[in-house]
Amino acid sequence: MSRGRFGIFPSWGLPQKLSRIIGVNKAREVSLTAMPLTAEKAEKWGLVNHVVQDNELLKKSREIAEAIIRNNQDLVLRYKSVINDGLQLDLGHALALEKKSRCSACAYPASRIRKYNWSVKAIRRKTTGTGRMQYLRHLPRRFKSNFREGTQAAPRSKGAAASS
């Protein structure tokens, strides 16, 4: 981190990213003193994930890549997107983004989940004597007859009328 010695101001986002990764005080110390960082210290501070010898670098890189490839690639791409996009948001919005992505990953579109009226369900109870299931009276008509208001019910066939 010897930019300060040469009078080079980092305009590629390093001061902002560094302070978010290692904390403001450590970022100030590293940037203002222009002290060199050892690999062990960089790993301890969270700037690098692994420290390996030169001859083990390719082996470790392939090991990590193979671990990623073994996973569902749709999920890997979605996860990367949620992490990267979430860093640009505050926690509340990032959690909402994660929830939206989770719903789409499970093949339940978030818009359909939001539109469904979860408080109104077809509640059934057994009637005495007949053993048949009947809907309670307070349910809206569209749930009783399996059609929406303003539409026509399908005509019953003779077999359906006899079984009712």
Query: 138-150, pLDDT tens digit by residue?
Result: 445 444 555 555 5
- Alpha carbons within 13 angstroms on the beta-carbon side of residue 143 total 15
DSSP state of 154: P
Angle between the N-to-C axes of helices 91-105 and 73-86, in degrees from 0 to 180, rounded to the nearest 10: 160
| CA–CA separation, 23 and 124 (whole Å) | 58
The pLDDT tens digits of the residues spanning 103-132 come to 555 555 555 555 655 555 555 545 554 544
Residue 88 shares a structural domain with residue 75: yes
21 is in which domain, residue-wise?
3-36
Residue 75 shares a structural domain with residue 101: yes
Yes or no: say if 139 and 120 are a contact pair by the CB < 8 Å rule.
yes
Residue 106 shares a structural domain with residue 122: no
The domain tally of the chain equals 3
94 is a domain residue: yes
Yes or no: say if 34 and 5 are a contact pair by the CB < 8 Å rule.
yes
Residue 144 shares a structural domain with residue 133: yes
